Structure 1
Amino acid sequence: MSKTKKIITALCLMGLGAGALWGTQVVMHETGTPEFCVSCHSMSHPQQEWEGSSHFANAKGIRAECADCHVPQEGWHYVKAKFIALKDIWYEMQGKLDSKEKYEEHRAEMAQRVWNDMKATDSETCRSCHSFDAMELSAQTKLAKQTHIDAKANGQTCIDCHKGIVHFLPEVHADQTTAKSGAPKGGMITENTTLYATEMVKAQGAKGGEVRLMPFAEVTEWQAQGDQIHGTLHGWQQVGAESVVYLDLGKRITVALVDEDARSNAQVLQTKHDDVTDSEWKEVTFAVNVAKEKMSSDLTALNQYGNHLNQTNCSGCHAAIGADHYTANQWIGVVNSMKDRTSMTKDEVRAVTIYLQRNAKDMKAK
């Protein structure tokens, strides 16, 4: 081949390569527009949700389009997202999501996949607009300010908290929730074991007064008499605030609330100074009578219930936080700051708080 032909061939190959690269870039760009995304019938559902969100219309006139959130703009993650998106075209051809009912059936699966991808990329697409460093924390609410400070310190990423801000969160069907998250039934009692209150329950002091047991409250040295359990409640009281009985010295894990008559009948085992709270604490026991149907030997079932409440209700905004992430006393403020964002009842809030406290990082396994 002559030198001239070689040059022409090389130029042609270079031209073809450049054309291929240009064509690929055009295809990549055009398939990232909202018009292309919503051209599939199944995308009309998330389109309506997006158009009703603050990411579509807001006071500042800033709009985040489909690719801004769902397609990382640089590197391997960009190419990967484009190739994975081919499955969506295939699903459209197969009619996998050709009705509102089918879309709702797969909503949780699709949402979780997107959340996992965002978590894996450290919420790269969110950070293309939002930045911890650019936040004016003084202009935020007290809760938002503290949450962002904690998130930055703990290496959390945007999607840990900000789920469901554009598209609706997956619905948890009522029948599934009831079946999976119902509190353990009382009456599951085995001889020679510690008994645990399955919910908040009124008990009577054997010598008078009312003792209101909290979920997980432990009763030992017990005897069953008919439909009643007669046993011993052990705990700690802070001097000057004896109406509350706690699980351990300096740990504000509520075991019971006692009235004045019951307090006067407490047996004091010892008094000890706690350096952390800089106060005196009394180790005490109470003789109590409580309904047998409200007690159980099955601590495993109680822990599973507490864990389920945490995983189900505390993951709507962020990944569920493990019990050993905070200390027992810290968990009180954490749960109180977030409980209003959930649909938990007061009893459920009480149960999940005590579960998290009992399994906190500064507690021995309970």
Structure 2
Amino acid sequence: MKTGSRRMVKGVALIAIICLAAFGMFGCGQGEEKVVEKEVIKEVVKEVPKALEPLKLAVAGAHTGDLASYGIPSVRAAEILVEHVNATQGGVGGRKVILVTEDDACKPEMATNAATKLVGEDVDLVVGHICSGATKAALGIYKDSGIIAISPSATNPDLTQSGDYPNFFRTIASDDAQARLEVDFALDVLGLTKIAVLHDKGDYGKGLAEFAKKFLEESGKAEVVLYEGITPGGMDYSAVVQKINRSGAQAVIFGGYHPEASKIVMQMRKKDMDTIFISDDGVKDDTFIKVAGDYAEGVYATGPKDTSKNPLAVEADKLHKEKYGEDYGAFYLNAYSAVLALFNAVDKSGSTDYEAVSNALRNEYVATPLGIIKFDDRGDAIGVGFSVYQVQNGKYVELEG
């Protein structure tokens, strides 16, 4: 019984066992009662083995391709926690946990295939997807099958705010909050008055850019001197770089991911443009610094608040280094927290039933590397937010305030 109540099954099973034990002596009832109890026993025989089946936790996201550095940390977070609960607690809710992974390379068409495959494999819960476009493409498939999905990184506001995906939760704040922070930083901290806004035309990048443009225009403090979409995967962005230069922009706010951001920044700096570059958590990744090299210096990017001193974050970091021999990557703590939240919800509700898990996620607090969290009615994690970071001496450093 994948979506039923484990506690209910145990209770029915106990009645059946008592009846079976007494059946030889007393028949466990007479006439119609005997027929009814035989039917109950038949149902328990069918249902109890399902209740004892392993709990299947899926992790879906970019495990290959340019954006694998965003997806692999989520797989690792799940691997660590699955091994831990199986070894120390015998699983979750009395069920051993099995991990299933599917790669979508952050592409919507691959995400629908991955989601369909996971549904066919009868998974109970999903951590993912990673990119907003891929997440949106998969969510309807999970919703139709009554499966909860919780993302560590999909920030598009509509995923929670539209009400279209009641089965979706996330352990990261949404892009409207991220765009607001970027705009406030550009206006109030840097004192900029002419800003170019770029995006990669995707659900994530374009969504963030639209909010940034809206907030800039509403502020009355700055002019949006260029608003433009670029084509992802391009090798040469000299045309848009030239437009930035001609616009007189003091800064660029870019919505998108690190492959495109690194190329734009490199081409700007090679043309001796000192235009400030401000971006998002899709760029706040060490891969951006590795690719852009010295040209990355001084770039600003928003990303999840630094909670690395949280005791649970310290423990998560230690476990990662012990298992993989290196520092964790982007969204690892968010994914670690997502898995903890799901396990806590199953444990507290005694079920993998959609309604039961949803209610537990919204009403039961859980201690995570991000803090003690639960989720609001829309599925957003309460108390989770963004900070501004800057590349300083080859590393992203969180700025105060």
Which TM-score applies when normalising by structure 2?
0.22
Which TM-score applies when normalising by structure 1?
0.24
- Name the larger-Rg structure: 1
Specify which structure has the bigger relative contact order, considering alpha-carbon pairs within 8 angstroms and separated by 6 or more residues. 2
